[in-house]
């Protein structure tokens, strides 16, 4: 299993990061991808990738909720760091988030476009965060008509209509599935089974957030991925081993692992 989006480099794991990584290995997790948040998180991500170099890989990006007046300076620093790191597997965590407020919605859109352009030029996949902002995402994507937009819609939270539009219009996108897929009232299983083939699904945790099943409300970690795999197995009607095989191949193909 490959956790394509997690934040175990964050301060929530400072006290027991070694144990977190060991539990992930024991659970069968072979790779852990770490998306960056802002300029200040670069050091922690780099240290985690150095310490657990056999399993952790970095992505470089500016999270939409970290976008503020200084976003251009932050992006310049993040891009400069990315240029120095041969381990990079993607551009992330990037996107749009209008859930909390829309104070910097124009800046978010501009920062998103800058990072899409960087990903296209460097031929890197993106890890894309969209929350309450699918219409705005389509507007930004429209600036790159004819370009190959390659990446993962991390923690996909769109409607059935969004899923259909993305499948039809953006064939090089995949869809991240985490603990939210296991929640009893989630609409995601129906959306995925109806519209999104397993060959476009990526496993992720988004740890420390969005814990699955019985761990909901507690700190998430990569070792909980088997719970997500089990639910995917039920929804798609294939074996757990087949879910692991297909999603592993998807992640390897997307991120060049």
pLDDT digits (tens, 9 = 90+) for 1-42: 999 999 999 999 999 999 999 999 999 999 999 999 999 999
Neighbours of 5 (CB within 10 A): 25
Q: What is the mean pLDDT of residues 73-85?
A: 97
* Residue 163 CA, distance from chain mean position: 16
CA distance linking residue 143 with residue 117, whole number of Å:
10
Alpha helices by DSSP H, 170-239: 188-195, 225-236
43: its two tokens = 């050091």
> In the prediction, which pLDDT does 116 show?
98
What pLDDT does residue 96 have? 98
What pLDDT score does 15 carry?
A: 95
166 and 142 Cβ atoms separated by less than 8 Å: no
Could you tell me which residues come within 8 angstroms of residue 104 by beta carbon, excluding any fewer than 6 positions away?
Answer: 67, 68, 71
Cβ neighbours for 122, distance < 8 A, ≥ 6 positions apart: 82, 91
Condensed to tens digits (0 to 9), the pLDDT of residues 138-195 reads: 999 999 998 999 999 999 999 999 999 999 999 999 999 999 999 999 999 999 999 9
Q: Is the pLDDT score of 135 beyond 90?
A: yes
Residue 55: what pLDDT?
A: 98
Q: What is the DSSP letter of 90?
A: B
Percent of the chain, pLDDT > 70?
100
Residue 191 phi/psi, 5-degree rounding, is -60, -45
How far is the C-alpha of 26 from the C-alpha of 43, rounded, in Å?
27
Q: What pLDDT sits at residue 257?
A: 95
- Residue 195 in tokens: 């519209």
pLDDT band per the 50, 70, 90 thresholds, residue 101: confident
* Alpha carbon distance 127, 139 (integer Å): 18
Q: Which residue has the tokens 């770490």?
A: 34
**How far is the C-alpha of 103 from the C-alpha of 60, rounded, in Å?**
24
Q: Is the peptide bond before 25 cis (omega within 30 degrees of 0)?
A: no
Mean pLDDT of the chain: 97
| Interatomic CA distance for residues 32 and 57, integer angstroms | 6
* pTM greater than 0.75: yes
Q: What is the pLDDT of residue 214?
A: 87
């Amino acid at each position: 299993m490959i956790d394509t989006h997690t934040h175990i480099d964050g301060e929530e794991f400072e006290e027991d990061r070694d144990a977190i990584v060991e539990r992930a290995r024991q659970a069968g997790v072979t790779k852990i991808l770490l998306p960056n948040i802002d300029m200040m998180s670069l050091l922690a991500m780099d240290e985690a990738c150095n310490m657990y170099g056999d399993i952790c890989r970095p992505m470089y990006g500016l999270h939409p909720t970290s976008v503020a007046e200084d976003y251009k300076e932050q992006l310049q620093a993040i891009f400069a760091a990315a240029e120095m790191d041969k381990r990079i597997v993607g551009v992330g965590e990037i996107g749009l988030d209008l859930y909390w407020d829309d104070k910097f919605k124009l800046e978010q859109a501009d920062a998103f476009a800058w990072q899409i352009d960087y990903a296209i030029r460097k031929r890197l996949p993106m890890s894309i965060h969209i929350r309450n902002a699918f219409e705005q995402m389509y507007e930004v994507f429209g600036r790159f008509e004819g370009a190959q937009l390659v990446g993962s819609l991390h923690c996909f939270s769109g409607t059935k209509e969004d899923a259909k539009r993305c499948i039809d219009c953006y064939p090089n996108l995949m869809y991240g599935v985490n603990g939210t897929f296991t929640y009893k009232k989630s609409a995601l299983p129906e959306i995925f089974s109806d519209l999104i083939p397993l060959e476009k699904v990526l496993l992720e945790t988004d740890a420390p957030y969005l814990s699955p099943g019985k761990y909901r409300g507690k700190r998430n970690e990569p070792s909980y991925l088997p719970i997500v795999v089990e639910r995917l197995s039920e929804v798609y009607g294939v074996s757990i081993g087949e879910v692991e095989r297909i999603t592993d191949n998807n992640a390897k193909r997307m991120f060049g692992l």
